[in-house]
Structure 1
Amino acid sequence: MTVAAGPVFSPREIPFSFRGSWFGFSPVIAENTYAPDVHLVSHQTGMHPVLRLIPTAGGVRAETTLSATPHELTWTCDDGRIGLAYETPDTVRVRGEGLGLHLVAADPVLTPFSGPYFYADPGDGSWVFTVYQTGRRYRVTLLAGHAKSWGEQALGTTVRGVALRGDEPWEIAVEEYETARAPYRGEAGFEQVLVAARADFDSFRDAVAPWRSDRTPGAELAAYVLWSATVRPAGFVTRPAVLMSKHWMDKVWSWDHCFNAIALAGGLPELARDQFRLVFDHQDAAGALPDSVTHSEVLYNFVKPPIHGWALARLRPPEDGETAEVFGLLERWTSFWLTRRRVPGHEFAHYQHGNDSGWDNATTFDPERVVETADLAAFLVLQMRELARLAAELGRADAAAAWRREADRMREALLAELWDGDRFVARSAHTGRTWSSSSLLDLMPIVLGEELPEPVRASLAARIETHLTEFGLATELPGSPGYQDDGYWRGPIWAPSTVLIEDGLRRAGYPDLADEISARFRVLCEKSGFAENFDARSGAGLRDRAYTWTASAYLILAAAHEHRLTPADPREVSGC
């Protein structure tokens, strides 16, 4: 049986994983750290390499070609092949012919190792690695061929592993579990496992990108990035969640999740709602959302910008009975900014650090850290507009009117106090002094679209165009003293700023510029993948190379573009 291949990718760029799984396979074992061999890397309690997978010939390491499709990871050489596929989110099957395989504990100190256990006869055994860092067990069960182990039961530092001989076909199952599990008894053959894995991905892909065509060559791989980074509920992750990556950025940050929700909304509305609601499951008593959520920690040291009203307006309406609950959550989040992040007597809320804005080190924050900025005011205007809409839908006319008044008041203050006649400025929350920068962040009020006077829209659009390189919107004006090619938010192209500004320009009456920004970013992703950010001058992918909000941005922009070319029922596409 032959299974359609789908997109082929390098596990050095994108981890090989499976929807729902908390582990993946990659040579990337820590931030910007590449090992010579693929590792099973778990993301429970953090990012931890667990097992090293070494292909062998004659008992020594073999030089192989490593590649992956959505359903199979393969090592190949002239005389042999190893294939690995997920049977379930916590179990993989591995088979080889002409190549052996060594599975070695990644940590030689803190990995007690037991085995072999024989369930029926000496040919039906398993070995168990108990891993301190993840608090989980990893069982290797021999299904065919012969294996031997070394280092079992040894104390202290020692190499522990299992070796499969390559002079005959072999097959194993590898499982991640907690304390105990019945002996592995796989009923499906390896080919059936491949077919089922491919079908699971295909169903997801068809749901989130039914509009894909030859014009959107990155759509299938973008769908894979989202599908493979999805984990089942565990620990503090209360719902099925799309992590930002199954590299080292293995968290859900409290604005990244909005873009993933929008990308999923058209075809998988329930999963999209889970993405939007996840961070609200950890909303604190003050109404603030956490900075980030992952398996074993929830961080409140920073917040993220209130783009949730903007995002909610682009998601499908809440399910019956959910509107009141969503309204309450969004109202508490908005009130946090207006009561806990506003100096008494001031009109504007403030960021206490660049990290609160999501643009951690943008040059806007160079003069001071506690700053009233135009982007924050604009996001809050949109969020209050969404609260007014939800209140009206709930029949709460007084609340709807009150939120409309608050939105009007902040918009008018924004134009009166932070617009200097030529550009928006930032203002110290302590002293009231103002300044401007060359950061794209200063131009983010374009998200208000038609709410801005035409001269303001025109000025913002003209300045945005100066940030547009061959590859997309540089977050710092190229040529400014603060620009850095790999400067995080001081130059590189980012997905969220691209999507927000593209949407704002379109609503502000600048569709041609919006089209150009969309087109350049889509081509960038098709060329350079779905990196955390990109060098604005060369287009090279930077930092984490498998970032889901980048894949989501591609899907959002591509879906909207395809819809403009071929109008259809808007429920069939995601996008702004």
Structure 2
Amino acid sequence: MQSVAHLNDHRRAGVTDPTGTEQWLRNAAAGVLAGNWLGSSTVPSRGLYPHQWSWDSAFIALGLRHLSPERARLELRTLFEAQWADGRVPHIVFNPATPAEAYFPGPAFWQAGQTSGIVQPPVHALAVWEVYRANPDTDFLKAMYPKLAAWHEYLRSRRDLGGRGLVSIVHPWESGMDNSPAWDGPLSRVRPIDPAEFVRRDLEHGDAADRPTDDDYGRYVRLAAGYRDLGYDDSHWTSFADAFAVEDPGFNALFAAAEHVMAEIATELGLPGKAAGHRAHAARITQALVSTLWDAEAGFFFPRDALLGELVPRFTCAGLLPLLLADLPVAEELLRTATGPRFGLGVALGVPSYDLTAADFDAAKYWRGPSWFNVGWLVHRGLLAHGELAHARRLRSDLLDSAWRNDFAEYTDPLAGAGHGARAFSWTAALTVDLLSSTT
């Protein structure tokens, strides 16, 4: 199995085109995943993220299915063993063998046993289904289906804080796009906790210029502590003085896509009534997305501040994720925005996380401009859903080239192509394996 070091040796030998060295790239990606494996789950990276993260594990399982279906199943089982009684899947499952001081906020802060109390986007049904399809195991599918159904029911019944049939996130971290400019407005009402009251472990592993500011981090801590002190009770969240509740187009697009996948799973399990119910849920979410978050003049999906009832007009990559929905009625208009100057699809490298034309675009700062591999993978899937094969091929090539040149970096500059953040990042490696295992 090739490591990143072997990959570097191969690159130094003069091989620079990943299309001619796909087996080398696959082996190096497998080496990353082996190095980040804890025995029952995979850490995103050994330094900055030393525990199991929810949507990371879903993306990791999508890659592992090509290398070890058994490990992919275990990755997902381990995550769902930490599912709460109310159905939520926590965004972090803490590894008790990892020193408490290795990550903040840790289990002592969350006071929820060995998990956090917030969630991340629902990409898990897709991971379960694709792992099953790669190596059919009916017992696995039967065991996972009710867990997935409970997770989706939690989102549907507890998180419609805006009353529009859309999920509200209660913390920026729940979007998976932690430091997105889309959260600046809603976050401005949150009083930051004094940074002297906590220790930022993230700055020990990354350039401070690329990370959230102390004020932003203080707001993150305030929100997490407030949600914790309410006992993670969603029904009382909007009365919290510093509440944050946003209907995120990316989260909700992934939820609609997941309901379509749940219909496939239910059909496979011989549950036609359940399958019809999932298809109906997907249709309702899609309709709510278009009627609530679509701005026809801008040709884009914007988040909605559920507390103010107002759209947040920031062009971030989350607004491109509804392309995952094959039945999206505004796909043509959204594709025009994706290929226009704001995102430069087909010109920029990967999928920029923020508007290239914005005055505050930053090619290196966390979720404020860089391209992320998982977003590129999702948009690639969306392009295929709408028959945009030329753009899909170009994006696949960009993603593989970035993985090759930047040692599976956490994120990359969409203009210059330089890698940033952690190297040997698990979802970058896993989704590289997935792209290499299929053709566009």
Give the TM-score, by structure 1 length.
Answer: 0.57
Whole-Å Cα distance in 2 between the matches of residues 442 and 345 of structure 1?
20
2:227 is the alignment partner of 1:350:
no
Q: 1:425 aligns with which of 296, 299, 302?
A: 302
Matched with 2:427 is 549
Deviation string 1:168-225 (CA, Å, 9 cap, x unpaired) is xxxxxxxxxxxxxxxxxxxxxxxxxxxxxxxxxxxxxxxxxxxx96345422221111
Deviations 1:50-72 (A, max 9, x none): xxxxxxxxxxxxxxxxx999xxx
Within 5 Å, give how 1:24-423 maps onto structure 2.
Answer: 214-215=21-22, 217-232=24-39, 240-296=40-96, 297=107, 298-317=114-133, 319-343=137-161, 345-368=163-186, 369-421=244-296, 422-423=299-300
1:391-445 Cα shifts (integer Å, max 9, x gaps): 2333333222222222112212222222222221221211211132121111111
* 2:360 alignment partner in structure 1: 482
User: Is 2:436 the partner of 1:558?
Assistant: yes
1:289-339, Cα deviation, whole Å (9 max, x unpaired): 111123215332321111112333332245123333211010111011111
2:300/2:337 contact within 8 Å kept = yes
SS in structure 2 at match of 1:471: coil
Distance 1:215 1:295, change over 3 A: closer
Structure 2 CA distance for partners of 1:453 and 1:480, relative to 1, 3 Å: closer
> Could you report, residue by residue, the CA deviation over 1:200-259 in whole angstroms, capped at 9, with x for unpaired residues?
xxxxxxxxxxxx963454222211111121122xxxxxxx22221222322221001112
Residues 258-298 of structure 1: CA deviation (Å, up to 9, x unaligned): 12111111241111111222211100011111111232153
Assess if the C-alpha contact under 8 Å between 2:3 and 2:29 holds in 1.
Answer: no
Identity of aligned residues (%): 26
SS of equivalent residue, structure 1 residue 367: helix
CA distance in 1, matches of 2:413, 2:162: 41
The 1-side partners of 2:69 and 2:22 are apart by 25
* 2:210 match: none
- Correspondent of 1:462 among 331, 339, 356: 339
2: CA distance between counterparts of 1:225 and 1:495? 15
C-alpha spacing 1:507/1:513, structure 2 compared with 1 (3 Å): same
Q: Which amino acid aligns with 1:333?
A: W
Q: Which amino acid aligns with 2:158?
A: R
Retained in 1: the 8 A contact 2:121–2:175? yes
- Larger RCO (CA under 8 A, 6+ residues apart): 2
Secondary structure of 1:311's counterpart equals: helix
Unaligned segments of structure 1, at least 5 residues:
15-66, 70-211, 233-239, 565-576
Amino acid at match of 1:444: L
Instruction: Give CA-to-partner distance per residue, 1:434-493, whole Å, 9 cap, x none.
Output: 132121111111111344455345335435752555532221122312312321111112
Question: For the residues of structure 1 that align with 2:150 and 2:274, how far apart are their CA atoms?
Answer: 13
Question: What is the DSSP-based 3-state SS (H/G/I as helix, E as strand, rest coil) of the residue aligned with 2:292?
Answer: helix
The 8 Å contact of residues 129 and 265 in structure 2, kept in 1 or not, is answered as: no
On the 8 A contact 1:467/1:476 being kept in 2, the answer is: no
Contact kept in structure 1, 2:128 and 2:144, CA below 8 Å: no
Match of 1:438 among 302, 315, 325: 315
Partner residue in 1 for 2:202: none
Deviation at 1:6, TM superposition (A): 5.2
Greater Rg by CA: 1
Work out the CA distance in 2 between the residues paired with 1:426 and 1:331: 25
Q: 1:343 to 1:530 in 2, by over 3 A?
A: same
Amino acid at match of 2:268: E
* Pairing 1:539–2:417 present: yes
Query: Could you tell me the TM-score, scaled by structure 2's length?
Result: 0.74
Amino acid at match of 1:481: A
Aligned length: 355
Cα separation, partners in 2 of 1:552 and 1:323, compared to 1, 3 Å: closer
User: Which is richer in strand?
Assistant: 1
Shift of the alpha carbon at 1:511? 1.2
Distance 1:418 1:290 in 2: 26
Cα distance in 1 for partners of 2:162, 2:177 equals 26
Contact 2:159 2:168 in 1 (8 A): yes
Cα 1:260/1:544, change in 2 over 3 Å: same
Letter in 2 for 1:319: D
Equivalence for 2:104: none
Decide whether aligned partners of structure 1 residues 392 and 361 sit closer, same or farther in structure 2, where only a CA change above 3 A counts: same
Q: Is 1:519 aligned with 2:397?
A: yes
> Is the contact between residue 446 and residue 460 of structure 1 (CA under 8 Å) also seen in structure 2?
no
Q: Cα offset for 1:498?
A: 0.9
Q: Give the distance between the partners of 1:249 and 1:227, measured in 2 at CA.
A: 16
Residue 505 of structure 1: aligned partner = 383
- Per-residue CA distance 1:18-51 (angstroms, 9 max, x = gap): xxxxxxxxxxxxxxxxxxxxxxxxxxxxxxxxxx
Q: Secondary structure at the match of 2:304?
A: strand
Contact 2:58/2:124 (CA < 8 Å) preserved in 1?
A: yes
Write the distance in 1 (CA, Å) between the matches of 2:81 and 2:22. 39
